[in-house]
């Protein structure tokens, strides 16, 4: 470990101290379990207090999901890119830093936007009491929005970008009509208006640029699924040409409340809206950006994953001893198709593996989700179907035959918090057909399978107290009852020692709080006689100052933290300087 430790790690006095500490942790864990068991026991009727109900009601479903995965253990910039802080920033900015771009009558248009050189790529807008003339759909193939207000010159000069330099047509074509009172044939409440980037829902990567920004928008504005109507400002595509993914918008975000522009226009007349939301644009989808150094998995992506699995009722089967390998096949009409696919799949079978070949584009959406959620190793050439790596279990691994230039799914795997490896083979982006290099692929599969089989470190840490307790019971039993001691020699297996430093060990009941975090974790391998066979890694984990400020007095003195500042030369200083997150430490171990 670090400078505060001198001498060898395993002198017997040190081991005895370690055992006493672990036993104390086990006892605390037992007390914690008992307390929580009693807490949850049905002792008489209990209902939530009014304060609890109000507090729960203040947080939307999506925000609760995001908060569940955002423990504050990552650097601040991580949360601002892909965590709860980003959602909260949109909310604060929309409430406190908005600009009114159209007012003076019965309507209003306001935006939070970050504009540079007359171009806004990051924004969130809201219109009140707007309306549309449905007959214009025939000419425009979309709806145009009007307001009884006067638009500012600043608004007219801004180019609101939707994605890839394309204008947001809803804002670009907005018309102010001060003094005009619409004759509303019908009125809708809250609508979220956008134009699907993937008209047919063919490409999961591009579709999710939109879906995730809609998810963030609804979380920021505290909208529940179904609170708003999704108004897709395009004609409805022919159902015979669409892909199953297209239905995910309505299912996840607006059950039973999705309408296309031409559907809304069928009845004719003027449609009025109480509230029109122009959401965060696809340009701001975080998974299209490079992950920041030191950041782990994205709370927003994990929250979306949880919501997706809950709505579609995906219940993954726990991994067995055999890795489940799913090979993605690209159908006709796509580039980068393998001509020796059958031979490749056959070469992977056996050796304790379960291999399946799938064509996601020809499967129902529910089938796609179930396959991905029950995959341990996902193998495929660079393509949009690799998006479903987000559903792999935490121990899942991705093997991608890349183009040498596209890092989309490597970055996505980082945001998901799972392993991604580029195969030792490349294929051009526009290549029509190619052959798998079976020898190289086989070696990569062997390596991935061996790494998948390794026991997850955090599961080992969780089980370690129980293992040590069992060893104590066995030792004491043999001392009290020598006849029960085994007559055979012990095995020659190795022992894995995971040593952790934490900010605290919970409260008096062992209940861990928000500031009880890992500071350092080290691995040492010994034989049964405690001879060191291997040392490392020894990882110092970054924690923010607010976590370190929450340490108790003993920990502050031990780790070097005084008056909110690190003491030079001790662990606290190294924690502040470290760029390693808990997720990264997990992966390295």
What H or E segment, with its residue span, contains residue 565?
strand 565-566
Q: Supply 265's token pair.
A: 């226009």
Q: Which domains are present in the chain?
A: 12-34+461-588 (3.30.420), 84-288 (no CATH), 317-453 (3.40.50.360)
**How crowded is residue 314: how many other Cβ atoms within 10 Å of its Cβ?**
16
- 334 DSSP 8-state letter: -
CA–CA gap between residue 59 and residue 217 (Å, rounded): 14
Beta-ladder partners of 532: 526
Q: What is the pLDDT of residue 78?
A: 95
Cis? peptide before 168, omega within 30° of 0? no
Query: What digits encode the pLDDT tens for the residues 361-388?
Result: 889 999 999 999 999 999 999 999 999 9
Beta-ladder partners of 252: none
Q: What is the pLDDT of residue 110?
A: 98
Structure confidence at residue 581 as a pLDDT band (50, 70, 90): confident
CA–CA gap between residue 585 and residue 523 (Å, rounded): 11
Alpha helix segments (H runs only) across 385-523: 408-416, 438-453, 457-480
Residue range 56-61: mean pLDDT, rounded = 70
Pair 76, 281: CB distance under 8 Å: no
| 43-47, 149-153, 292-296: least confident range | 43-47
Q: Supply 416's token pair.
A: 């998901």
524: helix, strand or coil: strand
pLDDT of 49 > 80? The answer is: no
CB under 8 A, 24+ apart: contacts of 344-351: 344/436, 344/438, 344/441, 347/438, 347/441, 347/442, 348/441, 348/442, 348/445, 351/449
pLDDT of 354 > 90? The answer is: yes
CA–CA gap between residue 242 and residue 79 (Å, rounded): 35
pLDDT of 278 > 70? The answer is: yes
Residue range 300-322: mean pLDDT, rounded = 93
Alpha helix segments (H runs only) across 149-259: 153-157, 169-172, 204-220, 248-253
CA–CA gap between residue 232 and residue 196 (Å, rounded): 7
Best CA proximity match to 62, nearest among 275, 260, 227, 281:
227
Please state the length of the chain: 589
Query: What digits encode the pLDDT tens for the residues 212-222?
Result: 999 999 999 99
- 350 DSSP 8-state letter: B
pLDDT of 464 > 60? The answer is: no
Q: Supply 186's token pair.
A: 């019908």
Residue range 515-527: mean pLDDT, rounded = 76
pLDDT of 23 > 90? The answer is: no
∠ CA 15-580-394 to the nearest 5 degrees? 85
CA–CA gap between residue 248 and residue 251 (Å, rounded): 5
| 117-131, 132-146, 425-439: least confident range | 425-439
Q: What is the pLDDT of residue 495?
A: 78
Residue range 140-159: mean pLDDT, rounded = 97
Structure confidence at residue 492 as a pLDDT band (50, 70, 90): low
Q: What is the pLDDT of residue 570?
A: 81
| 150-154, 327-331, 390-394: least confident range | 327-331
Structure confidence at residue 537 as a pLDDT band (50, 70, 90): confident
Structure confidence at residue 169 as a pLDDT band (50, 70, 90): very high
Q: What is the pLDDT of residue 461?
A: 47
Q: What is the pLDDT of residue 473?
A: 58
Instruction: List C-alpha distances in Å: 48 to 44, 56, 589.
Output: 13, 10, 42
Structure confidence at residue 37 as a pLDDT band (50, 70, 90): very low
pLDDT of 34 > 90? The answer is: no
Pair 242, 201: CB distance under 8 Å: yes
Pair 305, 391: CB distance under 8 Å: yes
pLDDT of 41 > 50? The answer is: no
Beta-ladder partners of 276: 127, 191
More confident residue, 58 or 7: 58
CA 423 and chain centroid, separation: 24
């Amino acid at each position: 470990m670090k400078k505060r430790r001198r001498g060898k790690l395993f002198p017997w006095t040190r081991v005895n101290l370690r055992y006493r500490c672990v036993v104390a942790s086990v006892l605390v864990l037992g007390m914690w379990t008992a307390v929580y068991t009693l807490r949850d026991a049905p002792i008489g009727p209990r209902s939530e207090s009014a304060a609890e109900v109000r507090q729960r009601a203040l947080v939307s479903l999506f925000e609760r999901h995001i908060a569940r995965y955002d423990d504050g253990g990552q650097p601040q910039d991580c949360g601002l890119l892909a965590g709860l802080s980003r959602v909260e920033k949109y909310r604060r900015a929309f409430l406190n830093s908005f600009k009114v771009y159209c007012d003076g009558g019965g309507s209003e248009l306001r935006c939070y936007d970050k504009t540079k050189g007359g171009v806004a790529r990051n924004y969130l807008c809201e219109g009140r009491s707007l309306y549309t003339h449905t007959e214009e759909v025939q000419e425009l193939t979309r709806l145009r929005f009007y307001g009884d207000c006067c638009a500012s010159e600043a608004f007219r000069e801004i180019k609101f970008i939707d994605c890839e330099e394309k204008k947001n047509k809803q804002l670009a074509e907005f018309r102010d009509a001060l003094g005009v009172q619409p004759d509303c044939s019908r009125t809708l409440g809250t609508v979220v208006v956008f134009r699907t980037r993937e008209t047919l829902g063919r490409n999961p990567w591009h579709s999710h640029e939109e879906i995730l920004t809609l998810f963030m928008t609804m979380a920021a504005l505290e909208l529940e699924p179904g609170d708003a109507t999704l108004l897709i400002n395009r004609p409805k595509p022919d159902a015979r040409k669409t892909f199953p993914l297209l239905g995910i918008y309505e299912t996840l975000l607006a059950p039973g409340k999705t309408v296309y522009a031409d559907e809304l226009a069928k009845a004719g007349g003027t449609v009025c809206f109480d509230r029109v939301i122009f959401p965060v644009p696809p340009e701001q989808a975080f998974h299209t950006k490079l992950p920041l150094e030191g950041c782990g998995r994205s709370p927003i992506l994990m929250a979306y994953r949880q919501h997706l699995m809950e709505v579609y009722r995906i219940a993954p089967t726990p991994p067995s001893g055999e890795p489940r390998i799913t090979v993605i096949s690209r159908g006709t009409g796509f580039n980068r198709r393998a001509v020796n696919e059958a031979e490749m799949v056959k070469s992977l079978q056996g050796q304790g593996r379960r291999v399946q070949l799938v064509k996601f584009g020809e499967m129902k959406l529910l089938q796609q989700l179930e396959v991905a959620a029950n995959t341990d190793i996902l193998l495929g050439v660079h393509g949009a179907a690799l998006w479903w790596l987000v559903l792999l279990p935490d121990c899942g691994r991705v093997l991608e035959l890349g183009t040498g230039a596209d890092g989309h799914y490597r970055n996505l795997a980082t945001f998901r918090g799972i392993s991604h490896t580029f195969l030792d083979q490349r294929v051009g982006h526009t290549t029509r057909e190619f052959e798998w290099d079976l020898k190289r692929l086989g070696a990569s599969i062997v390596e991935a399978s061996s790494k998948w089989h390794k026991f997850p470190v955090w599961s080992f840490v969780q089980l370690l107290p129980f293992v040590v307790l069992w060893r104590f019971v066995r030792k004491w039993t043999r001392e009290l009852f020598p006849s029960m001691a085994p007559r055979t020699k012990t095995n020659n297996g190795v022992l894995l020692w995971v040593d952790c430093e934490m900010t605290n060990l919970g409260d008096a009941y062992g209940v861990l709080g928000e500031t009880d975090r890992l500071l350092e974790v080290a691995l040492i391998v010994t034989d049964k006689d405690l001879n060191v066979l291997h040392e490392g890694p020894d990882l110092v984990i970054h924690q923010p100052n607010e976590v370190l400020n929450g340490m108790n007095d003993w920990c502050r003195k031990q780790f070097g933290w005084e008056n909110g500042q690190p003491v030079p030369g001790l662990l606290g200083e190294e924690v502040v300087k470290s760029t390693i997150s808990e997720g990264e430490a997990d992966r390295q171990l």
